[in-house]
Amino acid sequence: MLAPASTQLKNAFLARTAALLLEKQQEIVEANSADLALAVAAGRNAAFVDRLRLDARAIANLARSVGEIEALPDPVGMITSGSRRPNGLEVRKQRIPIGVIGIIYESRPGVTIDAAALCIKAGNAVVLRGGSEAQRSNRILAELLREALHAAGLPADAVQVPQSQDRAAIDALVSVPGGLDLVIPRGGTALIEAVQRSARVPVIQHYQGVCHLFVHAAADLEKAARVVVNAKAQRPGVCNAVEAILVDAAIAPSAVPKLCAELRAAQVEIRGCERVQALEGAAVVPATDADLGHEYLDLIVLMRVVDGLDGAIAHIRRYGSGHTEGILTEDLGAAQRFIAEVDASCVVVNASTRFNDGGCLGLGAEIGISTSKLHAYGPMGLEALTAEKYVVIGNGQVRT
Amino acid sequence: MLAPASTQLKNAFLARTAALLLEKQQEIVEANSADLALAVAAGRNAAFVDRLRLDARAIANLARSVGEIEALPDPVGMITSGSRRPNGLEVRKQRIPIGVIGIIYESRPGVTIDAAALCIKAGNAVVLRGGSEAQRSNRILAELLREALHAAGLPADAVQVPQSQDRAAIDALVSVPGGLDLVIPRGGTALIEAVQRSARVPVIQHYQGVCHLFVHAAADLEKAARVVVNAKAQRPGVCNAVEAILVDAAIAPSAVPKLCAELRAAQVEIRGCERVQALEGAAVVPATDADLGHEYLDLIVLMRVVDGLDGAIAHIRRYGSGHTEGILTEDLGAAQRFIAEVDASCVVVNASTRFNDGGCLGLGAEIGISTSKLHAYGPMGLEALTAEKYVVIGNGQVRT
């Protein structure tokens, strides 16, 4: 446990990491090229190869992101609440490291740096288990992190990268009771379900985002169209992009054509329910059951006409993934009911689902977006990588 | 999910529960008598029978406790933090119910009432799985709770009490992924380990309290003796009672005799390490390895001489259970190091370990004391029975 590591040592580690990323840029690019070549040879698609790529620009961004984490306040020791009891006891809650955190992730080798930087800044040790497709990139980044720890006078073993690449190694990592203090799986459904199945330690899952936007009868249609297009098309491959647009039947005759026209102008393919098809005809692809609750991660969106707020809430309860859900309305009562009744890590009113992000919500860097309710629901920044203990200071008080 | 249940309905349920406890006092005592008779016939010891007993006074206390929960503020909807982002988005975190909570507990039938009252007030449904030794008592209390829910206009199924009493039923309850949103096992090591082994849902364990008090070289010995005796003898059978006294070698020649004399005056049996034996001779029972890390829950305490703060911290790291750890010192630096380096749900300076309790720390009623770090570490009151989601309110903002 790094509990007693000072802010100064932790920041020295971060500064050294940022510097080493720039110094070793050429070596990192070379190791990454080997991973990329194997991925291309294995016939992986462009999106996959893109997630895997670490070029000079990506490395510079990583170094900048580590510098930003260095600049964030140290969460360890932060007092989050306090009171003085009638008997004079001073009671406070104070942030402490969690302990040893395992991160299991796929593709993006940059996670190796981001996750280690955040975990160490929060006083934790970290076990990083990336995917086999990025093993050469991850290995050199891990060496770099351990070199930076050593240079800062911290134990190099605070970052561990198991070399074994089979699934059994993941099972072994998460199935020892008392081994890890927390495991965070980030990635596809299969990975998360496998971890959930074998875990004997606490799990916070970063599950897929089947995000909805409901265009309510009292929506401002100009605003709604702008938000819908942004939520789908600004960056379609990420978990907070919208995957389904629900349109209130009361305004469908005007709203559906307008929304469809603007989405089409942004190159988005629309899969429409029968009521959307009735309004748009062959201009939309007929939606099937497979489109309900589907995460496209692409320029494709489901559009469905629903009967009012009740219909929208019922749809989201059934098909949402607890990630990000939004309503577009100028009606305060409808917004309030939506906020109260929709269960998601982030409920958004009159804004893009893309704002469910640590940076946008003011947390600074994040390790991902939790769809688990306990401990941290939504973007997980430094504070979510700590726990809180009670501290009680007295002057000889006893209980009577 | 009870998310939309109003404070008014939830409080009506609590008021009705308190009233029914008093109205049905006679029936409850009769059902409990049957449980007690079986326990006595089975040769259970006095402490066991005592934990099982629900007499008129205990029932009146339960009714009062339910009334206190009614008076607490509703945690659901509470805004815990908020900010306005540069782009005008209003961001807040807001408390929401967790969902369906399973409580698995032993002996004390009063838990049935306390746990249901707290869970429902926090908007959750609850599955209560008490021990077979209290099954008649628990059954009548569950009927009472469901009657109170019905009377308040809430679904009776918000409280469920499975009738099956075998261990396999516990496995079934906790091993369905996505079944319960949280399970809280309260009780002995065997119960908690069994739940941990089979759980496929999040677990917050309420584990044993192997609590220490360290009498540092700079302790005020009068204060230390008062606190040590209170922590051990005021109520020895509870988890926040102290189980081991660590005495700094620098003051052992004066501190050990004084502490031993005062503990003996309070009828406490002392198990001493060799250095304590050297000072106290046959007046202490020689401690064996079995005394290290042992939870006596009785008028027995381990006393061990350690070498300074380092020795105390090393002992606690090895033998503590993460529950409550205390230091007695007038030296601010020593207190600060102890607070920073000791990992426990509650670290106490110059006060009795018995204060690690929801009521004493100002939380109101509690469901128990978590020794799990994530989500809630220490006494779990109403707020720990909720999660938090983000709410973002905009005026058409999009991400660029």
Q: Does any CB of chain B come closer than 8 Å to the CB of residue A196?
A: yes
Could you read off the pLDDT of B290-330 as tens digits, one per residue? Answer: 999 999 999 999 999 999 999 999 999 999 999 999 999 99
DSSP string, B291-343: GTT----SSEEEEEEESHHHHHHHHHHHH--SSEEEEE-S-HHHHHHHHHH--
Count of all residues that appear for chain B in the document: 400
pTM summary value: 0.93
ipTM of the prediction: 0.94
Across the interface, whether the CB atoms of A3 and B335 are under 8 A apart is answered: no
Nearest residue in chain B measured CA to CA from A224: B396
- Residue B165 pLDDT: 65
**Cα–Cα distance, A305 to A217 (Å, whole number):** 11
Could you read off the pLDDT of A239-250 as tens digits, one per residue? Answer: 999 999 999 999
Across the interface, whether the CB atoms of A362 and B91 are under 8 A apart is answered: yes
- Residue B2 pLDDT: 40
**Cα–Cα distance, A140 to A26 (Å, whole number):** 11
Tell whether the model's pLDDT for residue A65 goes beyond 80. Answer: yes
Return the H-helix or E-strand segment holding A383: none
Two tokens, residue B356 = 């690690």
Nearest residue in chain A measured CA to CA from B3: A341
Averaged over A265-290, what is the pLDDT?
Answer: 97
**Cα–Cα distance, A111 to A184 (Å, whole number):** 12
Across the interface, whether the CB atoms of A397 and B373 are under 8 A apart is answered: no
Query: Mean pLDDT, chain A, as a whole number?
Result: 94
Tell whether the model's pLDDT for residue A176 goes beyond 60. Answer: yes
Alpha carbon A149 to its chain centroid, in Å, reads 26
Tell me the residue type at B202: P
- Residue B200 pLDDT: 87
Return the H-helix or E-strand segment holding B157: none
**Cα–Cα distance, B397 to B85 (Å, whole number):** 11
Tell whether the model's pLDDT for residue B1 goes beyond 50. Answer: no
Q: Does any CB of chain A come closer than 8 Å to the CB of residue B206?
A: no
**Cα–Cα distance, B203 to B213 (Å, whole number):** 29
Phi, psi of B355 (to 5 degrees): -75, -10
Q: Does any CB of chain A come closer than 8 Å to the CB of residue B220?
A: yes
Averaged over B361-387, what is the pLDDT?
Answer: 94
- Residue A398 pLDDT: 97
- Chain B positions touching A370 (Cβ under 8 A) are none
Tell whether the model's pLDDT for residue B154 goes beyond 60. Answer: yes
**Cα–Cα distance, B226 to B259 (Å, whole number):** 9
Q: Can you list the domains of chain B with their CATH numbers?
A: 7-204+380-392 (3.40.605.10), 211-355 (3.40.309.10)
Tell whether the model's pLDDT for residue A3 goes beyond 70. Answer: no
Tell whether the model's pLDDT for residue A175 goes beyond 90. Answer: no
Across the interface, whether the CB atoms of A355 and B89 are under 8 A apart is answered: yes
- Show which of residues 313-372 on chain B sit within 8 Å of chain A, judged by CB atoms: 335, 339-341, 343-352, 354-356, 360-362, 372
Integer CA distances (angstroms), B273 to A119, B199, B304, B310, B318, in order: 40, 39, 5, 18, 16
Alpha carbon B56 to its chain centroid, in Å, reads 24
Count of all residues that appear for chain A in the document: 400
- Residue B167 pLDDT: 75
**Cα–Cα distance, B154 to B6 (Å, whole number):** 10
Bigger pLDDT: B117 vs B174 = B117
Could you read off the pLDDT of A308-327 as tens digits, one per residue? Answer: 999 999 999 999 999 999 99
CA distance B272 to chain A (A): 24
- Residue B63 pLDDT: 97
CA distance A132 to chain B (A): 27
**Cα–Cα distance, B382 to B366 (Å, whole number):** 7
Could you read off the pLDDT of B185-243 as tens digits, one per residue? Answer: 988 888 888 888 888 899 999 888 999 999 999 999 999 999 999 999 999 988 999 99
- Show which of residues 74-93 on chain B sit within 8 Å of chain A, judged by CB atoms: 77, 83, 85, 89, 91
- Chain A positions touching B223 (Cβ under 8 A) are 395-396
- Residue B198 pLDDT: 87
CA distance A91 to chain B (A): 7
Band (B177; pLDDT cuts 50, 70, 90): confident
- Chain A positions touching B378 (Cβ under 8 A) are 389-390
Across the interface, whether the CB atoms of B389 and A398 are under 8 A apart is answered: no
Could you read off the pLDDT of B96-116 as tens digits, one per residue? Answer: 999 999 999 987 899 999 999
Could you read off the pLDDT of A351-397 as tens digits, one per residue? Answer: 999 999 999 999 988 999 999 999 999 999 999 999 999 999 999 99
Averaged over A189-196, what is the pLDDT?
Answer: 86
Phi, psi of A269 (to 5 degrees): -85, 130
- Chain A positions touching B395 (Cβ under 8 A) are 223, 350-351
- Residue A2 pLDDT: 41
Across the interface, whether the CB atoms of B391 and A346 are under 8 A apart is answered: yes
- Chain B positions touching A344 (Cβ under 8 A) are 389
Band (A52; pLDDT cuts 50, 70, 90): very high
User: Are A380 and A87 contacting, i.e. CB atoms less than 8 angstroms apart?
Assistant: no
